[in-house]
Amino acid sequence: MRLTFCPFSLGVFVGSAYLMTLKLRREEHEKALLSALPSCQVVFVLGGPGAGKGTQCQLLSERLPGWAHLSAGDLLRAERKKGGELGDLINEKIANGQLVPSEVTCKLIENAMEDAYKEHGIDKFLIDGFPRSIGNADAWKTTMSRHQEKLVLCFECPEEVLVGRLLERGKTSGRNDDTVEVIRKRFQTYRDEEGPIVALYEKEGKVRKIASDRSVEDIYKDTSLLIQNC
């Protein structure tokens, strides 16, 4: 068989390869755009242990379209499950009612935001239990300052009510920090660390305080209005 050189076929081949490369590049570019987390709206949700942060955030994310709930505590517990050195460190801190190093918690939140954006296009987040200290807030500012901090909701409830709720929850939660001893330490951490961070956000006019020794639905009425108007 004799092969003949055909300039036309060569042109078609080179042209197709070029178009194919352009198409692949465009697809890669679109993929990269989709995976890059844009500037998101965030609402931080604070309050003592047992104040109802998780319950309210859950309801808000179910009933208000577009908002997702991320719990710093839940993310840490999920990471702890994976074990290893990081899992051990997280467990040690949780079991002692202390805070996990801020960079760890902040990174887990960032990863969870990226996943929610990539998978569901979500760009509005209720972040429960963060920032719980000046260190948490500093870590956030270092890597996440492009996001818009819309509000800081603070659930307020007398400590004796909270202790009662946690002990009740401890009967079924399976959490190793819902015990009298660790609860006491968690409150100490809360008093030491969370007061200064709330004061900081108060100066920025972002704090909204909500009495949370009321029924879930009454609290929800107030929180949902705040979120809808933020």
- Angstrom distance (rounded) from CA 113 to CA 124: 9
- Angstrom distance (rounded) from CA 127 to CA 153: 10
Q: Is 181 helix (H, G, I), strand (E, B) or coil?
A: helix
* Residues near Mg ion (CB under 5 A), total: 2
- Least distance between ligand C5P and beta carbon 13 (Å): 58
Using the contact rule CB under 5 A, the part of the chain among 20-28, 47-55, 107-115, 152-160 near Mg ion is: 47-55
Is residue 152 within 8 Å of 208, Cβ to Cβ? yes
Residues 6+ apart with CB under 8 A from 74: 54
Q: Which of the choices ligand C5P, Mg ion, none does residue 91 contact, using the CB cut-off of 5 to 8 A by kind?
A: none
Rounded (10°) angle between helices 102-120 and 72-81: 100
Q: Is 150 helix (H, G, I), strand (E, B) or coil?
A: strand
**Closer of 94 and 126 to ligand C5P (Cβ):** 94
Structure tokens at 161: 């009510």
Contact set for Mg ion, span 73-112 (CB under 5 A): 73
Q: Which of the choices Mg ion, ligand C5P, none does residue 87 contact, using the CB cut-off of 5 to 8 A by kind?
A: none
Q: Which residue's CB comes closest to Mg ion?
A: 54
Report H helices in the chain: 7-35, 53-63, 72-81, 84-95, 102-120, 134-144, 159-173, 180-203, 216-228
**Closer of 84 and 164 to Mg ion (Cβ):** 164
Using the contact rule CB under 5 A, the part of the chain among 70-78, 83-91, 95-103, 136-144 near Mg ion is: 70-78
Instruction: Give the residue, chosen from 54, 87, 101, 135, that forms a contact with Mg ion under the rule CB under 5 A.
Output: 54
Residues in contact with ligand C5P by the rule CB under 6 A? 49, 72-73, 76, 93-94, 97-100, 105, 129-130, 132, 136, 177, 186
**Closer of 12 and 180 to ligand C5P (Cβ):** 180
Q: Which of the choices ligand C5P, Mg ion, none does residue 152 contact, using the CB cut-off of 5 to 8 A by kind?
A: none
**Closer of 37 and 95 to Mg ion (Cβ):** 95
Q: Which of the choices Mg ion, ligand C5P, none does residue 97 contact, using the CB cut-off of 5 to 8 A by kind?
A: ligand C5P
**Closer of 27 and 92 to ligand C5P (Cβ):** 92
**Closer of 132 and 147 to ligand C5P (Cβ):** 132
Distances (CA, A) of 132 to 31, 47, 170: 34, 9, 22
Judging by beta carbons within 10 Å of its beta carbon (0-12, 13-18, 19+), is residue 216 exposed, middle or buried?
exposed
